[in-house]
Structure 1
Amino acid sequence: MQNSVLDAPIPAAACPVAPERGSLSHLMQAPAGAPPVEWIVSEGLTAYDDAISFMEQRADAIAAGTAPECVWLVEHPPLYTAGTSSKDGDLIDARFPVHHTGRGGQYTYHGPGQRVGYAMLDLRRRRPDIRAYVCSLEDWIIATLAAYNIRGERRADRVGVWVQRPDKPRGFDGAMAEDKIAAIGIRVRRWVTFHGISLNVEPDLSHFSGIVPCGISNAHYGVTSLVDLGIPVTMPEVDSVMRRTFETVFGPTA
């Protein structure tokens, strides 16, 4: 893993695989008496460059002790982002703007109907452990899915959070099909995190076909969303669940 103390992207695969994962404490609660995490939800579509500018400024302010930690929920217009491990061949059809960003990971898609959660947290106060932090982000997503009776799972060889699809044809090896429902990509500067997660609520899934999502080209693995899985939810409903499950993993919000 790259040194993250000064300024480094962190691969989303930083969370260790089983069986080590089972023995790793994911505890990321803020210390007693710490101020709550500011919780911001933006309506409409947020320009990606504006999001980057906000995150960088807020992360610097958190590191300097002049602003509280923050989680910011947004939707973006259709776009692709390329992480620090992206490969040119994974951009199949640049039908939407492409943003090269400093987060870890490869190509991903953002667009309407996808909830992006940018988490700006101070790991010095919580726990200066990047692997535990990435695992905690996964815990947040998995708990959110569980609220809708969806079993989200980690995979040793694939980043993000996955769901099994018994309704789809099995692979040639007999393995059950699996779809990705959430992605993770972070950056850490002076132990303050930014970037974060994306959860597919009701995006246009055909927009993912312009890239090889997160570098995973196996046709046995697709993408899905809450609505695609038959869960008729609205974004405000998902936001409420995400806030509640965030607090179980990371602590109070305000």
Structure 2
Amino acid sequence: MNKYLEINDLGLRDYKEIWDYQENLFQKILQIKSKNSKENLQYETPNFFLFVEHPHVYTLGKSGHVENLLISEKKLAEINASFYKINRGGDITYHGPGQIVGYPILDLENFFTDIHKYMRLLEEMIILTLAEYGLKAERSKGETGVWLDVGTPFARKICAMGVRASRWVTMHGFALNVNTDLGYFDHMIPCGIRGKAVTSLNVELGKTKISLAEVKVRLLKHFLMLFEAEIKEKTEA
């Protein structure tokens, strides 16, 4: 089993461009698995972890309802945002500058074969990271993602999640609001859940800006611990 991760921080990149990039990595792993199965081979499958920020974009999962996007195509253009129907689970979400988006593209057969456990560990990574900033983050029963003040009238979501998996290979992932412009969430019903607020790390800490680089280091530290994984060192060409 290969528990090494290839880490790639892509910076601010177009959503469709990175969706295509994810698909290429996803299919690469599936092709190796298919070849191993057909020819009784044992080639290792790689694992990837992508960090990225996206320009303003709304994405709708397979089980989502387009009515949860509350604005027209004209208004989308006015606020410089795009919209895509995509192949992950979940409903509608928003990505934008100041938000850390993480795409683990893993062969779970290198770790464990349990999608429920995978999702809970992603949530735990966020919970542990936010604890380092003094925040008590939690899961909300029946609602994937990470929340603050669960069970109170002030419940608010700080991290959304949605994944796709095939033959234990994953893609898509999580979106953690760090310095996010929360006004963009007003144009949708986040994850299709009415009456729940959205927040970000800088708002919770009362700061103008939080270091994205620092948050990424902490996220990756907890991911490696929870998945018992290691970073694959890049070799010089």
Both structures adopt the same fold (TM-score exceeding 0.5): yes
Q: Using the alignment, how far apart are the partners of 1:82 and 1:88 within structure 2? A: 7
TM-score of the pair, normalised by structure 2: 0.84
Q: Using the alignment, how far apart are the partners of 1:156 and 1:231 within structure 2? A: 28
1:40 paired residue among 4, 8, 21:
8
Q: Using the alignment, how far apart are the partners of 1:226 and 1:175 within structure 2? A: 19
Report how far residue 154 of structure 1 moved: 0.5
Q: Runs of 5+ in structure 2 lacking a partner? A: 33-42, 233-237
SS at match of 2:202: coil
Q: Is 2:60 aligned against 1:82? A: yes
Q: Using the alignment, how far apart are the partners of 1:143 and 1:80 within structure 2? A: 27
Report how far residue 157 of structure 1 moved: 3.1
Q: Using the alignment, how far apart are the partners of 1:214 and 1:136 within structure 2? A: 20
Report how far residue 185 of structure 1 moved: 0.2
Equivalent residue runs for 1:1-254 within 5 Å: 34-43=2-11, 45-63=12-30, 64=32, 65=43, 68-94=46-72, 95=76, 96-164=81-149, 175-218=152-195, 221-230=196-205, 232=207, 233-250=210-227, 251-254=229-232
Write the deviation string for residues 192-237 of structure 1: whole angstroms up to 9, x where unpaired: 100000100011000011110000111xx20001101016421111
Q: Percent identity?
A: 36
Q: Using the alignment, how far apart are the partners of 1:183 and 1:134 within structure 2? A: 11
SS at match of 1:185: strand
Q: Runs of 5+ in structure 1 lacking a partner? A: 1-30, 166-173
Number of equivalences: 211
Report how far residue 247 of structure 1 moved: 1.0
Q: Using the alignment, how far apart are the partners of 1:125 and 1:112 within structure 2? A: 32
Q: Using the alignment, how far apart are the partners of 2:44 and 2:143 within structure 1? A: 37
SS at match of 1:102: coil
Runs (4+) of structure 1 exceeding 6 A deviation are none
Report how far residue 103 of structure 1 moved: 0.2
Tell me if structure 2 keeps the 8 A contact 1:38–1:253: yes
Report how far residue 35 of structure 1 moved: 4.7
Q: Using the alignment, how far apart are the partners of 2:14 and 2:45 within structure 1? A: 23
Tell me if structure 2 keeps the 8 A contact 1:59–1:189: no
Q: Using the alignment, how far apart are the partners of 1:67 and 1:124 within structure 2? A: 9
Deviates more, 1:45-54 or 1:98-107: 45-54
Q: Using the alignment, how far apart are the partners of 2:95 and 2:200 within structure 1? A: 13
Whose RCO is larger (CA < 8 A, sep 6+)? 1
SS at match of 1:177: coil
